[in-house]
Chains A and B, each alone.
Chain A
Amino acid sequence: MLSQQIINALSQGAFYALFAAGLTLIFGVLDLLNMAHGAVFMWGAMLSWYLMSTLGLHFGFALLITIVFCGLMGLLLEHTAFRPLRGRSTGHLPPLVSSLALSIVLVHVAEKIFGTRVVRYPDNAVPFASYVEMGDAQVSMLHLVLMVVALVLMGALWYMVARTRLGRSIRALQENPKVARLMGVDVDRTIAWMFVIASVLAGIAGVFLGVAYNSASPYMGHWVDLKGFAVIILGGMGSIPGALLGGLLIAFAEIGTVVFLSSDYRDAAVFVVLMGMLLLKPSGLLGSSREVRA
């Protein structure tokens, strides 16, 4: 049974990591918490459900359309909740509130369009529905695919930041936005791209989570937001490998609690781990400590 639990934890961890990757990208560079990340994630799940069930589209097409849609949603998010505040020296709170406001709007619109109840994906539309036996563990192909997709996407994200032109702009921005602008980095454009990328990742996470657990609702973003923040704090804010590590650590903490302690303490255990990390290494597992200099 332990092998089954390890598989359970790995697939859960992969999902947390995928969700948190976009959050950590924005936070690491802009020092901003994007409270609407969970809402975009929810739209990914709900829209793909709508495309697959009501319009009867194939999973692949639904995924593609959802990716485009969530990318555009990232653009909208950046233009409405973050860009107008960027020129003003407003501090951290206004963007936090404006993105929270937008997330509430997005949830309400979803309620109107998709209804308020939990929806299930049509049986025949779910891809990779087979199972493989690994020892005494039953592993869903879909969960394996989710793990691979999460790894590949996070690898690609890391490569993008570390090796590409856009990545160089992002890193310059992280170093010092003013200097980056003087050096010819198109700051607005770079930030807009970051939101597009982050939102696409959230959307993909939404599609896969919805399909993997066959469940989606307009309110599914709330709990994921909270877990996502825990993941990036644990892994080190702004670190992409940190998000992967943080996601896995939280999943193992959750499932370890169920196995060795009691399912009653599952959520509490996550936040105990989190607080322990804050006491021992406030910058997180892989985060670089940013000291405040006079």
Chain B
Amino acid sequence: MFLRHPSPSSIGFKRTGRVSTLLAVILLAGVTVLPAAAQDTITTAKLGAVYAFSGPVAIYSTTIKNGLDMAVSELNAKGDLKIDLLLEDDRSTKDDAINVYQKFIQRDQALLIFGPLIGGQVFAAGPLAQRAKVPVMLTSVATPGVTGIGDYIFRTSVESATIIPATVKAAKEQLRTARVAQIYTNDDQFSVGEFKAYEAALKANGIQIAGAETVRTGDVDFSAQLTKIKAMNVDTLVVSSQGQEAVGIMTQARKLGLDKVRFIGGNAFNAAGVVKEAGAAMEGALSATPWFLAMEHPKNVEFVKKYREKYKSDPDWLAAQTYDALYLVKQALVAAKIGKSDSVAVARGKLRDSLAAIKTFDGVLGKIEFDDKRDPRVAGAVIKVEAGKQVLAK
């Protein structure tokens, strides 16, 4: 394959002559070009972006692509440093994410890679970039631990677990939550993470946890667990599951006579589709989100306005995180002062150091602070379902 590294034997004894000639030519060329080019910085940066534009999770990539396109066209209109963004589809698979990474790293010589979409893909492809020392900027992955792959992995996507304490605080103040039960999907890493974050936040706020029940991904019948929860006499049920199970849990709870129980939940609650499908069952539910349409800081107001004009629809948190990521990378690119004569390896190294040096960033998400693991922290917003619509909970 074209991507294979030459093995040591293939540049062995027979070819020594040719290789040394080649080296001499390169060296001579370098000597003549270097002194002049050292002051000049690059005017175009080639970056790669790989997302699931087809396949089972492709539904999330529409707003991401809009966020990419919008940010790139705005940034390139300014004219100082152009971004040449290569888009590739990984068909929602790990294998294709790996293939595209290899293409970006070796053939296209991209300085940085945006994406892929989901945690599993990052754990598969990310190590390739780390080994090749190519910076990666994730804009959608909320799975804990992805930046642990290595110091070349960055993200603007916020781990939902980090904003869960805000939900608990709001529930305590606004719903007078005192005694809760928890229900979560125990074969889904993401949901287990949310469950644990909730458990810790509830304990920290002195809220009594009457019990915890589990469901599995793909379950449709939750009646046994919910009947058990009904007997616990709680005022609030904490739901840590993905969208389809969350909808089932909330609607079936109402049917089993849990009429007065309030729901608070994680990331799944933020999805407009979940709010619509759960309908009246979800009225009054609280959840925290890293970004919300109605957030009132100026950058967000302007972003939402421009996005609506351009795409005739509302952006979501993925569009916001992706848009911020592009601006962040642009800022780092400019600060890195990459020389025209710098090799790709040097340029990638400079960009990484420059990204790592940015500790706070004012974006559409509000003020983003990056911790020492390169994970973003934001204040986020707590939202409430009111008359079937998501509003800021105040």
Contacts and interface: CB of A to CB of B under 8 A. Distances in A.
Interface stretch (B128-136, B211-219, B366-374): B211-219
A267 B223 CA distance: 15
Contact of B255 (A12, A131, A222): A131
Contact of A116 (B56, B225, B255, B277): B56
Contact of B213 (A219, A255, A263): A263
A291 interface: no
A138 B56 contact: no
Nearest to B92: A116
Interface in A244-264: 254-255, 258-259, 262-264
A117 B220 contact: no
A4 B218 contact: no
A259 B224 CA distance: 7
From A12, A118, A222, A267, name the one whose CB has the most chain B CB atoms within 10 angstroms: A118
Contact of B227 (A4, A116, A264): A4
Q: Give the size category of A's interface with B.
A: 20 to 34
Interface in A80-124: 116-118, 120, 123
A53 interface: no
Interface string A251-281: 0001100110011101100000000000000
Interface stretch (A24-32, A149-157, A169-177, A208-216): A208-216
A4 B213 contact: no
From A120, A222, A264, name the one whose CB has the most chain B CB atoms within 10 angstroms: A120
A5 B227 contact: yes
B25 to A, nearest CB: 54
Interface in A1-51: 1, 4-5, 8-9, 12
Given A131-B255, A138-B256, A215 B228 contact: no
A215 B230 contact: no
A77 interface: no
A264 B211 CA distance: 13
A258 B228 contact: yes
Contacts of B301: none
B225 A263 contact: yes
B277 A120 contact: yes
Contact of A1 (B214, B230, B251, B252): B230
B224 A223 contact: no
Contacts of A120: 247, 277
A214 B227 contact: no
A264 B192 CA distance: 12
A8 B230 contact: no
A190 interface: no
A219 B217 CA distance: 11
Q: Give the size category of B's interface with A.
A: 20 to 34
Interface string A208-235: 0100011101011011000000000000
Given A1-B230, A215-B248, A264 B214 contact: yes
Contacts of A254: 224
A188 B288 CA distance: 61
B37 interface: no
A5 B252 CA distance: 14
A12 B221 contact: yes
Contacts, number: 70
B247 A4 contact: no
Please classify the interface of chain B as helix (H, G, I), strand (E, B), loop, or mixed, using the class held by over half of its residues: helix
B221 A1 contact: no
A223 B220 CA distance: 11
A254 B225 CA distance: 11
B354 interface: no
Contact of A223 (B218, B223, B231, B244): B218
Contacts of A116: 56
Contacts of A263: 213-215, 224-225, 228
A257 B221 CA distance: 15
A267 B216 contact: yes
Interface in B223-252: 223-225, 227-228, 230-231, 243-244, 247-248, 251-252
A223 B252 CA distance: 20
Contacts of B38: none
From B216, B227, B257, name the one whose CB has the most chain A CB atoms within 10 angstroms: B227
B195 to A, nearest CB: 12
Given A8-B227, A120-B277, A213 B255 contact: no
A218 to B, nearest CB: 10
B255 A1 contact: no
A5 B224 contact: yes
25 contacts: A1-B231, A4-B223, A4-B230, A9-B224, A118-B243, A118-B247, A138-B256, A138-B257, A140-B255, A209-B220, A213-B220, A214-B251, A215-B244, A215-B247, A215-B248, A220-B218, A220-B220, A222-B218, A223-B218, A259-B224, A262-B214, A263-B214, A263-B228, A264-B186, A266-B224
Given A213-B220, A255-B224, A263-B213, 16 more contacts: A4-B256, A5-B224, A8-B223, A8-B224, A117-B244, A118-B247, A120-B247, A140-B255, A213-B252, A219-B218, A258-B225, A258-B228, A259-B224, A259-B228, A263-B228, A266-B216
